Amino acid sequence: MTRRIGFFIFADFQLLDLTGPLAAFHVASQVAGTEPYALHVLSAKGGLVASTAGLRVPSERAGLRALDTLLVAGGSGSRAVAKDPRRLELVRALAARSRRAASVCTGAFILAAAGLLDGRRATTHWRAAASLQRDYPRVKVEGERIFVKDGSLWTSAGITAGIDLALALIEEDLGSEVSRAAAQELVVYHRRPGGQSQFSAMQELEPESDPMRLALAFARGHLSEALTVERLAAAARLSERQFGRVFRRETGETPGKAVERLRVEAARLLIEESSEPIESIASSVGFRDPERMRRAFLRRIGQPPQALRRSARQSKRV
């Protein structure tokens, strides 16, 4: 069976958001030797489409022929597409005729604007995560993830993360051996786990104002303690009500979720770099017990602490 993969592009798309995944699917076809994929670059009108790098890429006019996979690129032009009712309707129609839909980087804004991510977990480039959450509050943004699968919808972080996403899709279709062989041909890691952190949580939250920065700095310095909204608001020198509203607006998260993110990041470093017992690590970063930390790890990075420790030890032996 040959699966039709449609890569949807638009003016000012990010070139690597297209070429990275496209190369992965192409190499997988060569490795499998059975032509499992037919690759199509699509746009609203067809013809040459200019990328942010200035290179113009030929495309087919997107019709309503069924696809196996719709993959929407990102790039600076994604915000314009997200405000264009005609192109959003086209994306909705293409997704409805596809077995699964995916996006790379800020392509998530297009899927979100089309209503496809309502009530779904999703990710995007770390720099755009808070914006995605603010603009589309029905989306459950997990800005630290490399890629996220929620049912038939997949989203990935920025730029090279599209390759990780493509390898995961290939693995789902053709198995881990083909996916691993494709990664070897591409000379990339097979494959970064979807839950791997994109960036430091402190940098990713990136609040705009000094009060919010003060609150986050206070939280990071007191992770082992109870970090109530009252304490964080006091550190920011704001009322609790004002603090909660401003914090959500600037970071795209509630204070509680942000504290959990900081604790998971701190615990992860200790798990991967030290031999300290997981129970002790949980206590040192403010989780009341290891089970709470395990659930937070599953929510945030899709793997329990024990699995991360095993992976870290295997990497060190290689």
Catalytic residues: 105
119: left (phi over 0), alpha (psi -120 to 50) or beta: left
| Cα 2 → chain centroid | 27
- CB–CB of 157/147 below 8 Å? yes
